[in-house]
A and B are shown apart, each in its own frame.
Chain A
Amino acid sequence: EIDKIVDLKTIEELEETLILADVGVETTLALLDPIKTKILQGETLTVKELKSFLKEQLISFLKDTNKPFPPPGNPSVLFFLGVNGVGKTTTIAKLGKILKNNGYSVLLVAADTFRAAAIDQLKTWGERIEAPVCALQEGADPGAVIYQGISYAQKNKIDVVLIDTAGRLHTKYNLIEELKKMVKVINKLVPQESQENILVLDATTGQNALSQAQHFSSAIPIHSVIITKMDGTAKGGIAIAVSHKYNLPIRFIGLGEKPEDLIPFDKNSFVSAILPD
């Protein structure tokens, strides 16, 4: 089966596989059209060869980073953003736990002062992972919470501050402006090298993830991505184009709703899940 010679039907099947994994039409056709031309010109290659070529290509689209994580700082600040319901708050708790297990002290900051019970949600997570939470009341200025949180961390020598923000669509002008303000507050308190702005993407999202990356990164610098909900049947293929186009490394993937369900991103297994042998 794997040593079969590639024909147009194989190409069509691979097209289906890639598109169904949300890799996207553009990336898929860019990969497969040249192959199609070669096949039509009479070149032969085996399915195995083609698949390993495609995997290599997909892997090469995924950006690497050698920046340390968390970034060095006193404290280092991880700022989470993304559209509604992708898993920001939960991911913060999971990552807080990982960092704690690695010997860092952490502070969770409830800068989602908008959504009903968002503060309670983060506080509950704080109790579960035994991490302090900095919060003001619902409706408070997110910048004020961030200011308090980082100042508290500085005074109390906390290593990493994880900031939760309200979910917002990337197309909402005033909500994007609010993001910029929050980043300004962070900039006042800690140097750039100590900050990582993390875009959280939901693996079930389709081509819209590209628009999310584009809009958010044109407003504030985005440094990395976390993909959540990889425990479902979605393959999260759009992350490949996002990583490629916006030069964004993927740090972690979320695999469930429990505190331990976050693991470092691994290119090979990610791409192998998209293109199984």
Chain B
Amino acid sequence: MTGTILGAPDIGRALTRIAHEILERNEGHESLVLLGIPTRGVPLAHRLAARIAEVEPDFDAAARCGELDITMYRDDLRSQPTRSIGPTTLPAAGIDGATVVLVDDVLHTGRTIRAALDAIKDEGRPTAVQLAVLVDRGHRELPIRADFVGKNIPTSRIERVDVHVSDIDGDDAVILSGGRS
């Protein structure tokens, strides 16, 4: 099964559902902070925040959204070409005592999330950290799971999952490629 797995309407529905699930799980939005993991987690976090604000009008989407660069916490810095470091921007109020929802496009080995948890630890002490991903493709290498999942896509290791986000790629899509034909 290769090709486009999710189109723009599917992604929109998934994000709307996740936004509701986040509110349900946390019984409101008082202490919510959404942190996107670059690159594509960042626009997804902004979209989730906008959807939460549609449901809860006094949720300030812009003030509760941030981005968390995890480059300096990766465990594969020596086995990859040098990565450039991106910005980390947190809500002005910080994340102490907040419920942080990490947002990423694809959950795969779990190593990115492991790095993100370390990065969060250095930025403050949230009450809880939750994880929202658009796609869970399996093949975890660490004991990490997502709290909110857009779609579970069973894959083989040799396949590729590419998420397109309109802010970056011009369209919204989840594309599976590279498997045995």
- Chains A and B belong together in one complex: no
